[in-house]
Chains A and B, each alone.
Chain A
Amino acid sequence: MQPPLLTINALSIRYHKQPVNAVHPFNLQVIPGETIGIVGESGSGKSSIAHAIMGLLFDKATIEGTIAFDGKTLTQPDWQALRWRQIALVFQNASNVLNPMMKLADQVAEPITTHLGLSKSSARQRAFQLLQDVGLDSTWWRAYPSQISGGMRQKVLIAMALACQPKLLIVDEPTMSLDPAAKHQVVALIQALQEKYHFGLIVISHEMKIIQHMCSKVYVFYKGHHLEYGALDDVLENPRHPYTKGLIGASWELDAHRDIWGIPASIRAPVASGCPFYERCFQAKPSCTQYDIKPLTIEQGHSVACQRGGIATLLKVQALQKKFQIRHHVINAVSNVSFEVKEGEVLAIIGTSGSGKSTLAHLIAGYETKDAGSITFENSPAAPEALMRRQGGLQLVTQDPAAALNSCWRIRDVLNEPLKWSLNMCGKKRHRLMRHVLHDVQLPSNESFLEKQVHALSGGEKQRLVLARALTMSPKLFIADEITAMLDPSNAANIVKLLKAMQNSHGFSMIFITHDLYLARKIADTALVLEHGKVADYGPGPDVLTARQDMLRHSPSNTLSSIS
């Protein structure tokens, strides 16, 4: 391996007069000619890292740790010789990032005269060449910054950064606020320039798509913490941190068919210590508040900063078998089915009628007993009965809400029932929870509604009520078995949207059983195709669903077409 161009060791940044670090200790490495990506939401400290690498923070922040460039550990005076000459930065594009009183070409030429000692006129010639390289029309070369558009400014910023042919180039949000065509252009431009000049490249972005296009390794940051590191493909295909998974889920550009779901702002009350992502994590445990987060080591390859070692497996099904005997016929309803459901994951199980989908669901929920195989929930053998009765267990909702509800019960009783016999919850608390879940499923929660009897509800309302009842148990795994089958398309679409929204905001995992490929595509992380009781296909949602286009011919309805 080549010696690294840039090595950052346990670097931390705290701005003066700020109570907490903007960036917590982290490690980073760039090899000559390689492209790494730093990704994270706004405020995760990406620009701060860029400025620290440029040595621009000494007067406003306390910096700890070391930065080594070309094998030499840098001290403050060293930067004077490196800035722009060796390490250059394409600043985050903002209105006043260029000097409003200086012509564009002059701003590009300026570092050339300073660092390369060229005469004014030859520096200017070179600036023109660079501006031409980045594709800025020559009419603008002598313009002032206020006279050009944001996209043009981006080009000028790139040309300016390349003025002295640096060995390391940092680009901060190169595509922010650009339209898709311009984005594409800028990405291609930077790549072409890298091809030409062979600089090491650090791409900073909050868009996974940009990182995916440009980088071979990726660093995921959140609130100044380095949470995940790995080769791009590893991280994209198999994200290990819940936050990374959330970022990927929030990037609609990665999969055009899927609905986007942002990372929920908060799932639970925040805590002062422990894991920084605790508040928003779908798989947090109480022990996470004690987690002592340490800088990730780059040498390890794909690594993650999580108390639970990354996204955990919630349900593991292995070699599951179920036979039914009807007289002399033996029907292999489920044969040798294995799969797993991770925390926060939506698994779509797709199959035609009679392919064994519901039997599989019933086996997991304990409605049927398995002939062979194993089911483990949170790493211990599952006792379905107990799981259904406890908070944080599993809940099953089926296609026929009427069958699941006693039609002469009052709504209050329906919701009270699981709470009463599975938990000792006081009346007041129960009432609050009841209102809460009704609100979640978008049903009224006033007294008169609670007094209504079930048979007074429409089909859609009944299905919502069943969902609400399941929600009172705060399940970790939600099995939805063709829940839209008996609803009209518009109601079905609304229920699916609602369910996915709840899944996202509560952070539970879900097995979504359907025969509708379109539906599955919208919400699934992973997909499993069942044919005659056997697994015909299993893998990441987009792959499986694209591979099984043939099933579209068989799927009768397109339930989501009515979503407004």
Chain B
Amino acid sequence: MWQKIVGTLIVVLVLNFFLPRIMPGDPFNFISVEEGSVTVTLTEDQIAHYHAYYGMDKPMPEQFITYISRTLSGDLGISIYYNRPVSEMIGERLIWTLLLVIAALGISSLFGSALGLISAYHARESSILDDLLLRMMTILSEIPDFIIGLALLIYFGAHLKWFPLAGATTAFAVYDSAFDAFLDYTHHAALPCLTLSLSSIGDFYLLSRQSAVSVLTEPYILTARAKGLRKRRLIFHHVLANAISPILARIFMKMGGMLSGAVLVEVVFAYPGIGKLMREAVSMRDYVLIQGIFFYVAVLILIFNTAADMIFKKMKQRGFHEKL
């Protein structure tokens, strides 16, 4: 397992170094044609100076070695465009994204699995409830998240004006209490979080429904029913206990996907998370920043997947028969 992790890390580092350099364009041309009215033009000399400053005049292998050794020592460099330490910038933004992702994961996995369980419980008698839920969730899981986001933004934000259109906090707000701050954060995060939740609730629903349906046909469920147990005990101790493992594993595997989903959603809602930062970095060809973000995200995904793997292993030890 550790070999796999180290291997992945090396691949990430290598890709991370070369990918931005393969992209067309030069970051310093972007500094020179700043959007807006103020035009800062850099002379050839100045560009050369910057190149030297960021070590980009050095040969590739040398750049690579510098990059690796710095990254491993935790120094992700200074942003070319913003001229600030990359780690610091990412740290600021990552909080917001993680907030979104974790809240959305919590909501979608909880509600998705609950609905899946209910659906599965009724699936045997070909019920309308199950049929309806299944259709709805299947459609929902097919809609791209930024479209869900736009729809929510237009309806609840622009039309009903229930939620702010952009940002993570009210600008220049001074909070009387921590609770007030919390309310403000929640208010801002609501729509992006809902978007992310809706976009993955279908996934959790389908997974938990399938898992529960197959658990419900297991002999031990008949045993449990024969024992005359109460419905709650039956559902939680016998159905859920056996159906939950793939769902748990999926939560961690989903984190990675959700991070990339967050990128688009954050753009839609102008939410100051890592996704928005990424967009800014890409449009400015800010290699250093891009690399930093990539590195962070890759490491995060690696951690989550490893956690998912470990859960699967644990389940196997318990004799959980993998059906998925």
Interface residues of A (CB under 8 A from B): 51, 54, 56, 59-60, 79-80, 82-85, 88-89, 91, 94, 96-102, 110-111, 114-115, 144-147, 160
Contact = CB atoms under 8 A, between A and B. Distances in A.
B319 interface: yes
Tell me which of B224, B233, B319 has the highest count of chain A C-beta atoms within 10 A of its own C-beta: B319
Interface stretch (B235-243, B249-257, B266-274): B235-243
A443 B241 CA distance: 63
Contact of A114 (B219, B233, B238, B320): B233
B229 A114 contact: yes
A97 B318 CA distance: 15
Interface residues of B, number: 23
B320 A100 contact: yes
Given A91-B223, A146-B318, A100 B242 contact: yes
Contact of B219 (A79, A94, A110): A94
B62 interface: no
Contact of A99 (B125, B228, B242): B242
A97 B219 CA distance: 5
B224 to A, nearest CB: 7
A59 B319 CA distance: 29
Contact of B225 (A56, A85, A144, A147): A56
Closest 7 CB pairs of A and B: A146-B319, A83-B228, A101-B241, A99-B220, A111-B227, A100-B319, A97-B219
B321 interface: yes
Contacts of A84: 226-228
A96 B230 contact: no
Given A84-B228, A89-B226, A110-B229, A99 B237 contact: yes
B36 to A, nearest CB: 60
B237 A144 contact: no
B226 A56 contact: yes
B148 to A, nearest CB: 35
Interface in B123-174: 124-125
A160 B237 CA distance: 16
B226 A54 contact: yes
A97 B320 CA distance: 13
A84 to B, nearest CB: 5
Nearest to B218: A96
A51 B222 CA distance: 9
Nearest to B229: A114
A115 B238 contact: no
A510 B75 CA distance: 97
Contacts of A83: 226-228
B127 to A, nearest CB: 12
A60 B123 CA distance: 13
Contacts of B237: 99, 102, 110
Given A56-B222, A96-B218, 20 more contacts: A51-B222, A59-B125, A60-B124, A79-B228, A83-B226, A83-B228, A84-B227, A88-B226, A91-B223, A91-B226, A97-B220, A98-B220, A99-B223, A99-B224, A99-B242, A100-B242, A101-B320, A102-B241, A114-B228, A114-B233
Contacts of A51: 222, 226
A85 B233 CA distance: 17
A89 B225 CA distance: 11
A264 B125 CA distance: 41
B99 to A, nearest CB: 33
Nearest to A79: B228
Interface of B: 124-125, 218-220, 222-230, 233, 237-238, 241-242, 318-321
20 contacts: A51-B222, A51-B226, A56-B225, A84-B227, A89-B226, A96-B321, A97-B219, A97-B220, A97-B223, A98-B220, A99-B241, A100-B220, A100-B320, A101-B318, A102-B237, A110-B227, A114-B230, A115-B228, A145-B319, A146-B318
Contacts of B218: 96
A146 to B, nearest CB: 3
Given A56-B225, A110-B227, A144-B318, A99 B233 contact: no
Tell me which of A83, A88, A101 has the highest count of chain B C-beta atoms within 10 A of its own C-beta: A101
A381 to B, nearest CB: 59
A99 B226 CA distance: 13
A475 B321 CA distance: 56
Contacts of B320: 100-101
Contacts of B238: 99, 102
Contacts of B220: 96-100
B220 to A, nearest CB: 4
Contacts of B241: 99, 101-102
Contacts of B318: 100-101, 144, 146
Contacts of B229: 110-111, 114
Contacts of B124: 59-60
A147 B319 contact: yes
A543 B154 CA distance: 94
Contacts of A146: 318-319
A114 B242 contact: no
Contact of B228 (A80, A94, A96): A80
A157 to B, nearest CB: 9
A101 B242 contact: yes
A102 to B, nearest CB: 7
Contacts of A80: 228
Contacts of A115: 228
A59 B220 CA distance: 16
A60 B228 CA distance: 17
Given A91-B223, A96-B220, A98-B220, A111 B319 contact: no
A91 B227 CA distance: 11
Contacts of A59: 124-125
Contacts of A91: 219, 222-223, 226
A93 to B, nearest CB: 10
A97 B319 CA distance: 13
Nearest to B242: A101
Nearest to A54: B226
A199 to B, nearest CB: 16
Contacts of A94: 219
A393 B228 CA distance: 60
Contacts of B222: 51, 56, 91
A59 B221 CA distance: 14
B234 to A, nearest CB: 10
Contacts of A147: 319
A111 B321 contact: no
Contacts of A96: 218-220, 321
A155 to B, nearest CB: 15
B266 to A, nearest CB: 39
Nearest to B228: A83
